[in-house]
Amino acid sequence: MDENGTYHYAGPSAAQPPKKPKKGIKNQAKIILVCVLAAILMLAAGTCFYTVDDKQQAVVTTFGKVTDVTDAGVHFLLPFGIQQVEKVDVNVYQKIELGYSTNNKNSYNVNDSESTMITGDYNIVNVDFFVEYKISDPVQYLYSSNNPELILRNLIQSQVRNVVGSSTVDAVLTDGKENIQMQVRDLVTSILDEYDIGLSLVDVKIQDAEPPTKEVIEAFKAVETAKQKAETVINDAKAYQNAQLPKAQAQADQLIQNAEYLKQKRINEALEQVAMFNAMYAEYVNNPQITRSRMYYEAISEILPDVKLFVNTGTGAGSDVQMLLPLETLIAPVGGND
């Protein structure tokens, strides 16, 4: 108050000290900071590890560059986006359906734009293919092309039309399916090796092959039935052949043995005759006249076996002996009739 009685506010007294901040506020700030740091550390720790199952491989990139490929297990990873992981199913067979499609309810939907083809002899057929493949190189699969599955599908469809277009309709519908599958598999595999998109072909199978009209289908079914009957007849003939061959072989062996026996017998007889001739010749050399007469009498006996032979040695010159013929009338049988 001044001397006139008026009051004036002079502010706080210079002698009064300023108020200090409360300690509770500082402690709350420290707690909040610690919580934030702990959350950041927990988040970083949670992103420092990743797990790969037994059907996968993981491609690790550091600042966008591929630095590692890891297999199944738990692995360390640099946090805060320094390293990224892309998991790929490498041990799983995947499928491609050409000419048809199936869903979870096993319903069969036909795709004529993919299945209709022209054979080498200018016939139209509908051929459905089932293809199995897997990822062989996860790095090439992820980064060498935008859509490797689409590339593989187009490649298979192109080679299928190429092989079917160089085959006859009979081969496509009946007995040439195995060869067509093998040709498609070899062609696609060689091109995949050249493209190197990280995919490998496992198998190619013809799911179904048939003509586009019912009349032609029935005709080919009749042809197939005839072929099966022909194969049955051929198999029956082969079975009969296999049953008869042992018998014929046994008969042939018996004939050969008999021929060998007769051959040896003839050889032995010839050797015996040669020996007899040599012995007779030796006798002839020693006694030519006697041996000649003996050979003559023996020859007459063999030529005329039923004729009785009488040798007259007393009718020579100066002989007084006379021989009476026939002698049977002079010799009476013992106990015969008069």
Residue 334 token pair: 């013992």
**Proportion of the chain above pLDDT 70, given as a percent:** 78
129-138, 253-262, 278-287: which has the minimum mean pLDDT?
278-287
* pLDDT in the model for residue 133: 95
pLDDT at 26 (0 to 100): 65
The 10s digit of each residue's pLDDT in 186-204 is 999 999 999 889 999 999 9
* Distance set, CA 234 to CA 230, 231, 247 (Å): 6, 5, 20
Higher pLDDT, 22 or 180: 180
Q: How far is CA 88 from the centre of its chain?
A: 32
Residue 332 is predicted with a pLDDT of: 53
Secondary structure, 3-state, the chain: CCCCCCCCCCCCCCCCCCCCCCHHHHHHHHHHHHHHHHHHHHHHHHCCEEEECCCEEEEEEECCEEEEEECCEEEECCCCCCEEEEEEECCCCEEEEECEEECCCCCEEECHHHHEEECCCCCEEEEEEEEEEEECCHHHHHHCCCCHHHHHHHHHHHHHHHHHHCCCHHHHHHHCHHHHHHHHHHHHHHHHHHHCCCEEEEEEEEEEEECCCHHHHHHHHHHHHHHHHHHHHHHHHHHHHHHHHHHHHHHHHHHHHHHHHHHHHHHHHHHHHHHHHHHHHHHHHHCHHHHHHHHHHHHHHHHCCCCCCCCCCCCCCCCCCCCCCCCCCCCCCCCCCC
CA-nearest of 207, 155, 210, 209 to 186 is 155
**pLDDT of 263:** 92
pLDDT computed for residue 312 by the predictor: 63
Average pLDDT for 33-58: 75
CA angle in degrees (0–180, nearest 5) for 243-248-254: 140
Q: What is the pLDDT of residues 165-191, one digit of tens each?
A: 999 988 888 889 999 999 999 999 999
Mean pLDDT for 146-158 is: 93
Whether the ω angle into residue 326 lies within 30 degrees of 0, i.e. cis, is yes
Q: What is the mean pLDDT of residues 54-83?
A: 88
pLDDT of 285 > 70? The answer is yes
Q: Which residue has the higher pLDDT, 6 or 86?
A: 86
Percent of the chain with pLDDT over 90: 38
Q: What mean pLDDT is predicted for residues 316-322?
A: 57
What pLDDT score does 290 carry? 81
d(CA 179, CA 231): 20
Mean pLDDT of 215-226: 78
d(CA 173, CA 175): 7
Which one is predicted more confidently, 157 or 77?
157
Residue 21 has pLDDT above 60, yes or no: no
Give the number of other Cβ atoms within 10 Å of residue 152's Cβ. 23
Residue 19: pLDDT above 70?
Answer: no
- On average, the pLDDT of the chain sits at 81
CA atoms of 231 and 221, how far apart (whole Å): 15
Q: How far is it, in rounded angstroms, from Cα 200 to Cα 92?
A: 12
Across 70-95, average pLDDT: 88
CA dihedral (257, 258, 263, 268) positive or negative: positive
pLDDT in tens, 228-257: 899 999 999 999 888 888 888 888 999 999
Q: Average pLDDT, stretch 302-308?
A: 74
pLDDT of residue 14: 47
Q: Which of 263-267, 286-290, 330-334 has the highest mean pLDDT?
A: 263-267
149 — pLDDT class (breaks 50, 70, 90): very high
Per-residue pLDDT at 209 = 87
